[in-house]
Structure 1
């Protein structure tokens, strides 16, 4: 997760996402891997990533195999793959020998949090207030409110 820099406010983005769930997290991870760069920013009101909080029942698994993670089917060499997550946690071999293709929902949440904590361009604690077309600059502008850890207004911004 990165904080907004002064350049982020004035530099147009190629891609802006509102909300950071698995879909936009996947999009951000794939955009990060584009050679030559893609200026992307994703804004989420919550202070951190959490997938289905309160619904991560013990033993419940995903309905799809682990290869349907955020990136693998599009970019198998991505650093944001589930297998790389396991390697970083020193759990790749135990996972391999367990011979399970469907991972637990809690593990998927932990994997997504791992990606969201490292991936640049994700801005948590940012409530999007408006999206509008600026005819003079020929681009969309996003107005947001930056929130502190208690959910109180910290700053206003535009991207």
Structure 2
């Protein structure tokens, strides 16, 4: 969404991994809440290179992005299966622990359909503006080759940093 200092986001997430993807999915169902998440990658990728055939998650499928907090959310793993016409085969397989590749596909499905996610956006600077009591976030929108396409700024009252498996927080 377009933001101004007078109409900032309520929450901006930096990085779109499972945590911020979950936050965005849960926030999506709250009327009037303005959120956006930004990631410099062009698509969602969860543990790329570690999706070994046959490996499963350590937690049951109900620990997806949203179910334990909001089982009626459109972003549940079961809804993902239904959208792929795989709900009944999954049910009859009687497995509670899904494969890691399936979890990655589920997260990519959410990331491709959930509004307010901005891939290809490199965050250049974050500043606290004490006069307005909000954060100013400068970003560079990247083209498919990773080259700068446009510059922008957004404003938010609250900031969530998704630091990832190997944390990286710039100076």
The aligned counterpart of 2:113 is 118
The aligned counterpart of 1:83 is 78
The aligned counterpart of 2:25 is 29
Per-residue deviation, 1:134:
1.5
- In structure 2, how many angstroms separate the alpha carbons of the residues matched to 1:129 and 1:155? 12
- 1:123-142 to 2 correspondence within 5 Å? 123-142=118-137
1:8 and 2:8 aligned: no
8 Å CA contact retained: 2:25, 2:65:
yes
* SS of aligned partner of 1:8: coil
- Structure 1 ranges of 4+ moved more than 3 A: none
- In structure 1, how many angstroms separate the alpha carbons of the residues matched to 2:96 and 2:24? 25
* SS of aligned partner of 2:98: coil
8 Å CA contact retained: 1:13, 1:41:
yes
The aligned counterpart of 1:151 is 146
8 Å CA contact retained: 2:3, 2:9:
no
8 Å CA contact retained: 2:44, 2:107:
yes
For normalisation by structure 2, the TM-score amounts to 0.87
Match of 1:105 among 100, 103, 111: 100
| Greater fraction of residues in strand | 2
Per-residue deviation, 1:133:
1.1
The aligned counterpart of 1:52 is 47
| Greater fraction of residues in helix | 1
* SS of aligned partner of 1:30: helix
Q: Alignment RMSD, CA only?
A: 0.9
- In structure 1, how many angstroms separate the alpha carbons of the residues matched to 2:132 and 2:68? 37
Flag structure 1 segments of 5+ consecutive residues without an equivalent.
1-6
- In structure 1, how many angstroms separate the alpha carbons of the residues matched to 2:29 and 2:98? 25
- In structure 2, how many angstroms separate the alpha carbons of the residues matched to 1:155 and 1:43? 14
8 Å CA contact retained: 1:9, 1:157:
no
Q: How many residues align?
A: 152
